[in-house]
Structure 1
Amino acid sequence: MASEHHPDGEEGDGEGGAGDPIAYFLQDMTYHGKTERTRDAYERVLREFEAFLGTPDRNPMGTTKPPSAATRRDCMAWIHELRGSVAESTVATYASYLHRFYAYMNQVGEFDSNPMTLVVEEMDERIDTNPTRRDISVDAMVSFVADVTHPLDRAIVVTLLKTGMRAGELCNLDLRDVSLSDTDHATRPQLDGKADSIYVSPEPTVGEECNGERRPASNKRKRETVIPVDGELKRVLKQWLAVRPDPISPADPVFTTTRENWGQRVTPDIVHHIVTKHASERGWHRRGGDAAENVTPHYFRHFFTTHLRDRTGDRGIVKYLRGDVAEDIIDTYTHNWGDRVREVYEANVYSLC
């Protein structure tokens, strides 16, 4: 694991200090439920900065120093060195990682200050949480989906594209969260009277038990959401459920592995691998590419948002379906779900297969 990396072979100082502050930070990220992929991304960036500080002819003071001794000028010099070698959105992402690292270490008392505070304020570009992304038309996405023939892969890709849910939310779906007409299984009370719908709960938290199973990811929604299932997604889900391996978990996960660990709930890493494998085959993903270039599960959420918003002209409904709106807007669409949300969704959602 990333948090076990200690360049000098020594363990951290434990609760009294951080002999390797980067390893200390990564360990705490583990405790906070961050995925291995997220921790690996942070470690890669932080170790690159550490190497910069440890190379005298690269840093402004011409000396070797640890991350705990870095100054504002050291941070600015590293960011300046990045420019021209990576995309601007990647520079912003790296800066945000470094800022998060120093802010946390300062907050827990391991570092005396955060040298990135002024750097972030002084940067020419804002840290972009929604960078410009590859523009893929619906027709191009239809062609992409047509090439995804494996039942699990196809069900995952179509579900992400038609619902806009996060990869972790898809992983946490249990059969009780899916209501499909012409199927016979118990569903949540929240789905009563809402046939052909998916319920996304805010409850699952990575590492904690939900419906009798420890979860691989957290759902990041503030409030529960009921997402309509149109005829196309219903057909794909029923095709998948007809061949789904018997789940190992009593929670009855919707999406289970069909390769290694047969019958276990899929994880965000598995979903990410499935999507990027197919995207790579089409030239939509490459190792080292940034968010502006690569198609990932999160790109599908962007695709859903962009195309459905453009077709409906109703930002409120799209925000409701994404699960990231204020309570007053959520309440408006919750109370009017059957008449408004499903009607607008079904009238405007794109066809993919």
Structure 2
Amino acid sequence: MTEHTFTIPQKSMDMGKKVSDYINTLTKPLGSLGRLEELAISLAEMKNDPFPSVSPAGILVFAADHGITDEGVSAYPKAVTEQMVLNFLNGGAAINVFSRQIGALLNIIDIGVANDINHPQLLNKKVRYGTGNFLHEDAMSLKEVEKAIEIGFEQSMEIINKGAQCLILGEMGIGNTTASSALLALLSGKEVEAVVGTGTGITEEGLQHKVNVIQQSLQNRKPDPANPIDLLTKIGGLEIAGMTGAMLGAASKRVPILVDGFICTIAALLAKQLSPNVADYMIVTHQSVEQGHGIALSLLGKKPILDLGLRLGEGTGAAITYPIIQSAALMVKEMATFDSAGISQKH
């Protein structure tokens, strides 16, 4: 994994200024479309295009298992990862519903599920059969982290080459809120209790156990908070590394990244550590109810568009928000100006 892989262009502030001026000529009072106008300007800066398109969206769902589930940190057994991947492939999950609704390209990627899954639609990019239990050993090797990031990068390139104009990232992996909370504790410097939530719905007793497991793991592993590769190696997840790589890939091609919930935001923070410019291409779609998400968003320096009390993952929050982002792009492209419509402006 070489440094040049992460060459990310600067966003075009000049184009943003041009589009901002143009928006002010559209048939509406100044600023009356609020954050939609901000979104349209951001998209123009990202794509260096006055009339940027975000259609179709490309969705990549990375699936992987976590060894830390052996410690009883999740409400669901590890087997659910594989079962949910089959649900994705059979079109029955929430992300399938919302993907169909918005006409997105959708790829399901096995980057580290604990069992082999045979299905013609599955992209098998398995790095290993789940991570190690990071209470007792590193989650993965340095080589495996680099391979997972590279796979994510390549998958983003492939879906962009097929026509995706923006990228939505999703994940499936029982135990991944534990890995994400551990990563956030180090990235934020906050106490573990402040960043750990109930994940898929554990009890209060289960939550305290999860906190204890993470605290002990961090003492055992001692990852370097300033080194994203070391963080992933010691306490990360294969799907988190895959999403990190995919974000770097999208930004390198000026493709907007629609950041989903808690786990996706942790991947965004790691991508930003690897290449700070990547954050310029991120739009945070929603506020998750997972406890650490607000802290993660403040570190990322981004404001979410929606707050619907979501905590599913899979990329669902980003897919639900996509029509709003599409509205911002279409507003600039299709609205008349005062001159073209022959409408008098206020004095």
Whether TM-score is above 0.5 comes out as no
> Shorter chain as normaliser: what TM range?
under 0.3
Normalised by the size of structure 2, how large is the TM-score? 0.26
Name the structure with the higher strand share. 2
Structure with the bigger RCO (C-alpha within 8 Å, sep 6+) is: 2
